[in-house]
Homo-oligomer: A and B are copies of this chain.
Amino acid sequence: MAHTTDRGGRKAGTRKRADAERNIVAIIAAATESFARDPDASMTDIAKAAGLGRVTLYAHFPSREQLLRTVLAETIAESTRIIEAASPAEGPPAEALARMIRSCWPLLSRFGSLHAAAQRALPADEVRRRHDRPMAHVERLVARGRAEGAFRTDLPVEWLVTTVYTLLHAAADEAAAGRLATEAVGEILEKTLLAALKSE
């Protein structure tokens, strides 16, 4: 008898965990889409988009900030994988930069106003620090480009990395606001950043 109850309890536990996992996945997907469309998306908007009640949403994410942090961490991790797949350490630096921009742009574009949502709700330093992993690839590429004579050496590396970071996100904001045609942005970013970074 004890054995059966135990098995039943374990089954119920497994089912509960599976439900929780499914809910978390649904919440993160709904939150990503909601923040991409509207930087001020509320917990109520997100619960509705996920097809869940507010109680369930708050059981998994006690605050909007915490949900935003999770969504930001997931999307930055995805961007990092895409940047790594573009092999920024290989080939001529200018070509590697162009490849990196073109590979991560569609993702940045899909995340729309998510970065703006993060900037509005989280400390500026935190938002930037969360981008440390993808930006480390940019920093290494800029350093390599300088060593190989392809990129300028008259400005601090950190500033050149900030220029890349800032213009990538500005382009995403402009496209999200309908002021830049999404399909043109990859080329626009590539031309702007190569001109800003290349050596004289």
Instruction: Please list the residues of chain A having a beta carbon within 8 angstroms of any beta carbon in chain B.
Output: 39, 113, 116, 119-121, 124-125, 152, 154-156, 158-159, 162-163, 166-167, 170-171, 173-174, 177, 179-180, 188, 191-192, 195-196, 198
Contact = CB atoms under 8 A, between A and B. Distances in A.
5 contacts: A120-B120, A120-B121, A156-B180, A166-B170, A195-B198
Judged by DSSP, the binding face of A is: helix
A35 to B, nearest CB: 13
A162 to B, nearest CB: 6
Nearest to A184: B156
Most B CB contacts (10 A, CB to CB) among A163, A167, A179, A180 go to A163
Nearest to A197: B195
A180 B119 CA distance: 20
A162 B188 contact: no
Contact of A192 (B121, B170, B180, B196): B196
B116 A173 contact: no
A192 B156 CA distance: 11
A154 B188 CA distance: 9
Given A166-B170, A170-B162, A170-B166, A191 B124 contact: no
